Amino acid sequence: MKTSTAIKSVQVTDKKIGEGVLKVHHPFMSLTDLSDEGGNSMASYIVRGGNRLAGDVTVSGSKNAALGILSAAMLLDGACKIENVPDVADINVMIEICKDLGAKIKRDNEGTLLIDPTSINTHEAIEDKVRSIRGSYYLLGALLARFGKASLYMPGGCNFGTRPVDQHMKGFEALGAEVSLEHGIIHVEADKLLGEHIFLDVVSVGATINIMIAAVKAEGTTVIENAAREPHIVDVANFLNTMGANVRGAGTDVIRITGTPVMPAGSSYSIIPDQIEAGTYMMMAALTHGDITVRNLIPKHMEPLSAKLEEMGAHVESGDDSIRVWLDENEHLKPASFKTMPYPGFPTDLQPQATVLLCLAEGSSKMMENVWDNRFQYVDDLKMMGADIMASGKLAVIQGGNPLTGAKVTARDLRAGAAMVMAGLAAEGVTEIVEINKIERGYERFVNKLQSLGADISRLDR
Ligand code: EPZ
């Protein structure tokens, strides 16, 4: 019996997907991640705290931009070259998924990909690996643009509560696609994609990129209103334009895409630096009373963090493509209030790391999480290390100044994992962080980069 669920029908039912049972109100509104696997989940990091981090560190290409750009490359009508692609687990999975579709991809050691998508021979991405990362959902937009149809497993990714995709579906429908969910596979299909005016109900990075990608070959003009403005949205738009598309307004809340029937490609594009990786190292400088120059970043992207670091008493000096952050031995961090917001607000992906910093600031601080509904799961691990934090709903109140002591803690997700490494760097004694496969989804050569800054960290393979 066919169990396809039309997007327009609102039902309350339990759906069996894989081995899990999903409570569904609206099929695309309350989907929770099913998988957070990948890499060697048995490996751990051992951190001996107390070292002051100093020196230069170079930021890698943006993981989240690369996920969008790799997907967007799948709709091209010719080959292209993409530079500054980070060598991290999520991107490597994404490359494998694209190869499974039939794309020819060659990678050199310098982070450059040569991609020929003209050999793609299927509109279906229904391998298990699709479920292990979040960014695979951009293939819905890309394959829809290429074939007029796409089928994809519900994507996975970091688990911090429900991660709905209703806004993506709303956009595809507006462009003329039929959307359904069958056995955990999303199907989208259109006789013809026609440009439309789409007003997003929530500011969503993923929906903005997915709709932008799908609309690139649609007939006429698509307008996305209430679009997200994150740097990687601009990067995906710039990539598409370099390959022949006509996308205007990315980086503002109104994006206009005038459809181009053929995307000739044939050019090279270099991915922007990773804003979140850069921010993590900037905070590590303040955390360890260190002095780090973070190179190959875009200072403008770091402004929400730079302002907060200065408010907390750290020194921040911006260059053209670098930022130096330092805190002297005799200086102290001051407490502060943070609120995460879509760009240009303070990024949710730096929230756990900033919370660790607040643990060291003497006095009472607040962290308000406004993007995700369950992104304080790591707080219990910090408490185990001696932190005084009360977290309830979207608010955490941090009573800073208690010394942290090393413990065995878990990387609950990618950024929470980075926060645990930070806590370990600041703690007395040894911290073991387990489930580091989640950290390695998004931080390139994390251990090497930290060691070069003077951290006492090693990777233990079991
Ligand atoms: C992207 O996730 C990033 N992932 C996340 O980074 C990041 O935390 C997030 O944007 C916010 O900045 C990638 O780019 C692969 P959203 P995304 O759609 O696109 C709600 C990391 O650590 N929403 O902007 O999935 C949603 O529930 C990762 O690198 C809907 O209601 O996030 C959330 O509250 C983790 N309906 C808010 O919007 C939808 O259809 C923002 O989500 C879509 C989203």
Q: Convert the pLDDT of each residue in 134-187 to its tens digit.
A: 889 999 999 999 999 999 988 766 666 678 899 999 999 999 999 999 888 999
Confidence at 1, pLDDT banded by 50, 70, 90: very low
* Candidates 3.65.10.10, 3.40.50.300, 3.30.70.2190, 3.40.50.2300; CATH matching 44-60+273-460: 3.65.10.10
Q: Residue 259 and residue 61: Cα distance in Å, rounded?
A: 28
- Check pLDDT > 50 for residue 9: no
What integer pLDDT is reported at residue 32 of this predicted model?
38
The pair of structure tokens assigned to 30 is: 């309350």
Asked if the 62-270 domain carries CATH number 3.65.10.10, the reply is yes
* 176, amino acid identity: G
- Edge-to-edge strands of the sheet including 113-116? 104-107, 113-116, 80-83, 268-270
* 250, amino acid identity: A
- Check pLDDT > 60 for residue 391: yes
Rounded distance from Cα 410 to ligand 1 centre (Å): 22
pTM: 0.92
Beta bridge partners of 5: 181
Is residue 191 within 8 A of residue 172, CB to CB? The reply is: no
Ligand 1: atom nearest CA of 347 is 12
Closest CA to 275 of 309, 255, 252, 298: 298
Q: Residue 31 and residue 163: Cα distance in Å, rounded?
A: 6
**Residue whose structure tokens are 């039309």:** 6
Q: Residue 417 and residue 439: Cα distance in Å, rounded?
A: 5
Fold matches, 44-60+273-460 and 62-270: yes
What integer pLDDT is reported at residue 161 of this predicted model?
66
N residues, the chain: 462
**How far from chain centre, in Å, is Cα 462?**
28
- Residue 415 in contact with ligand 1 by CB distance below 6 A: yes
- Of 59-73, 127-141, 226-240, 373-387, the one with minimum mean pLDDT is 127-141
Confidence at 131, pLDDT banded by 50, 70, 90: confident
- Residue 426 in contact with ligand 1 by CB distance below 6 A: no
The pair of structure tokens assigned to 44 is: 């751990």
Task: Report the SS3 class of residue 33.
Answer: coil
| Segments in 120-162 forming alpha helices (H) | 138-147
Among 31, 134, 188, say which to mutate for ligand 1: greatest number of ligand atoms within 8 Å of CB.
134
Domain regions of the chain by residue span: 44-60+273-460, 62-270
C-alpha distances out from residue 293 to 172, 280, 290, 316, 420, Å: 43, 12, 10, 10, 22
Element (H, E) at 210: helix 205-215
Task: Report the SS3 class of residue 110.
Answer: coil
Cis before 344? omega within 30: yes
158 is catalytic: yes
Residue 220: DSSP 8-state: S
Task: Report the SS3 class of residue 393.
Answer: coil
List all residues 6 or more positions away from 448 whose beta carbon is below 8 Å from its beta carbon.
none
